[in-house]
Chain A
Amino acid sequence: MSHLNELTKKIVESQLWRSMFRHDYLDTPRNRVLQIMANVWLHLHPPKIRRHALRVRFTWCMGGITFLVFLVTVVTGVILMFYYRPVAEYAYADMKYLQHDVPFGMIMRNMHRWAAHGMVITVWLHMFRVFMTGSYKPPREFNWVVGVVLLTITLLLSFTGYLLPWDQLSIWAVTVGTNMARATPLLGSEGPFGEVVGVTPRYDARSFLLGGTLVGPSALLRFYVLHCILLPILASLLMIVHFWRIRKDGGVSGPL
């Protein structure tokens, strides 16, 4: 036993160990704080929070679950990107390949899709909880606004991803969805005052979105880029703001 203790001591006092871990694991108030402050992932949290913020019945954990399933979609999404080409000739075949030949391909795809649908639901429930507890009231007004933008981006992420399997379900759902763009007032070819502005089906809000008059190859590429690059970056940036402001606005809301 004394040999073991000696060995332990030798390891934890070595330069290598101490370069990685700045404090020991002893359960002291100081270490509890360091556990949060000295950890890049955990220091999203303050070292201490108000006790009522722990109550699951108050927060439903919905914001945290939304973030977790977002991370799941990021990890599984990157794996799917290894096997998927956003080209009309290949996209559907890649889906089949992914489902039948790639090891764990089907479960990666399933997790990506169900986590994405789950995220839409949890983000709504999160908004619902925040509204019901009045947590958007001062000083948290602006964080609510950021949250609404994040909710919109969540829906757009899900919607752009919907097209990528390039099957009948996706192409027609996106056709129905993007058909709305041509009814945009002033900017859509079939929208109010579209003729006055002079937009045509080949050159209006919808063709800008799709890169053509149909949901075709260029729409697939556009949605792929939006889905894998632009929207995730936007969402991540706004999440940073969203989480940071929770702390700056005094933590999880609660009775004063």
Chain B
Amino acid sequence: MAEVKENTEAKPAVRSAGTNEPAVADRVHVWPYLVRNEFICSIIVMIVLTVWSITIDAPLEEAANPTQTPNPSKAPWYFLGLQELLVYFDPWFAGVVLPSLIIVGLMVIPYVDINPKGNGYYTFRERPFAIATFLFGFLFLWVSLIITGVFFRGPGWNLFWPWETWDPHLVVAITNVDLSAWGPFKWMGNPKIFGVEMIGFVLIFLYFSTAVVFYYLRRDMSDAIRQLGPVRYGIVAFLFLTMMSLPIKVILRLAFNVKNVWVTPWFNI
């Protein structure tokens, strides 16, 4: 219906002459430019979703039967990273404390990452630690563990290739021992000397104290650590070391057959 057709090209930003005002940000009308993008994007998503829903049916198995436990019983796929960690950690850690730490850890990111650079654009060079840590946590600890849980775990939570047939009777000998009865500590743990489990506590304590040592060693040299201050540094170091303890425990278990590092009557780590 419009009889007067305006020029719809967005105009570049104009700096008003003779003022020290910063250039007016390069702004465009939301209608039509953004609404058009959103509209096209919605159409594409809806087409994909509709075609997907026509061609692939949602699963529905037999009616719920509390007396018949399937093997394996898998959590929904988005929690399989955590279920995968149940192999290596007790449920109180892998199922409760770790998810809570992930949520809290994500929430504190903006308050402990005080690097002003890299706000609003893609960059690796200006914030290497933040990006590397996040990628390691997201891709390696979250996504790859989910893929393992979805595609590589079969009956008895044993590892299978996706093309392998599941053998429900497969028995894998478990030869893992607690750290106090392992390798160099064996002479103390077998027969058990009272209090030998404290080795684990000491090792974990030493592991986390590296952060304190690092702080005092590097404080005078590193601007980043000085600006963080002890509280923020402490939070970052605790969360970072906790995150890195996951692959460490996995390696200890898979390569060295260590079951638990620290065994107590109440919990194991």
Question: Do A and B associate with each other?
Answer: yes
Chain A residues engaging chain B, CB cutoff 8 angstroms: 8, 24-29, 32-33, 35-36, 42, 45-54, 56, 61, 64-65, 68-69, 72, 88, 92, 95-96, 99, 106-107, 109-115, 117-118, 120, 124, 127-128, 131-138, 140-142, 144-145, 148-149, 151-152, 155, 158-159, 162, 165-173, 175-177, 179-185, 188, 190-193, 214-216, 253-256
Residues of B within 8 A of A120 (CB): 78
Q: Contacts A113-B58, A253-B120: A49 and B34 contacting too (C-beta < 8 A)?
A: yes
Tell me the smallest distance from the CB of B255 to a CB of chain A, in Å.
27
Q: Are B64 and A159 in contact (CB under 8 A)?
A: no
Residues of B within 8 A of A128 (CB): 138
Report the bound CA distance from A72 to B82 in whole Å. Answer: 28
| Chain A residue, CB-CB nearest to B6 | A27
| Chain A residue, CB-CB nearest to B53 | A110
Q: Tally inter-chain residue pairs, CB-CB below 8 A.
A: 245
Chain B residues engaging chain A, CB cutoff 8 angstroms: 1-6, 8, 10, 25-35, 37-38, 41-42, 45-46, 49-50, 52-54, 56-66, 68-70, 73-79, 82-83, 90-92, 94-97, 103, 106-107, 109-111, 113, 115-123, 127, 130-131, 134, 138, 266-267
Report the bound CA distance from A32 to B52 in whole Å. Answer: 36
| Chain B residue, CB-CB nearest to A122 | B45
Residues of A within 8 A of B90 (CB): 183
Q: Are A159 and B138 in contact (CB under 8 A)?
A: no
Q: Are A167 and B53 in contact (CB under 8 A)?
A: no
Q: Are A45 and B91 in contact (CB under 8 A)?
A: no
Q: Are A111 and B76 in contact (CB under 8 A)?
A: no
Residues of B within 8 A of A183 (CB): 90-92, 95-96
Q: Are B26 and A132 in contact (CB under 8 A)?
A: no
Q: Are A50 and B96 in contact (CB under 8 A)?
A: no
Q: Are B27 and A51 in contact (CB under 8 A)?
A: yes
Q: Are A176 and B83 in contact (CB under 8 A)?
A: yes
Residues of B within 8 A of A69 (CB): 45, 49
Q: Are A35 and B52 in contact (CB under 8 A)?
A: no
Report the bound CA distance from A159 to B99 in whole Å. Answer: 15
Residues of B within 8 A of A145 (CB): 107, 110
Tell which of A36, A109, A117, A124 touches B31, judged by Cβ atoms closer than 8 Å.
A36
Report the bound CA distance from A166 to B62 in whole Å. Answer: 9
| Chain A residue, CB-CB nearest to B94 | A180
Q: Are B30 and A45 in contact (CB under 8 A)?
A: yes
Tell which of A53, A148, A168 touches B34, judged by Cβ atoms closer than 8 Å.
A53
Pull 25 A–B residue pairs with CB atoms less than 8 Å apart, ordered by A: A25-B1, A45-B35, A49-B28, A61-B37, A68-B45, A109-B58, A110-B53, A114-B58, A115-B49, A117-B77, A124-B138, A132-B134, A134-B127, A134-B130, A135-B119, A141-B111, A155-B79, A158-B76, A159-B79, A166-B63, A168-B62, A170-B64, A171-B65, A180-B95, A191-B96
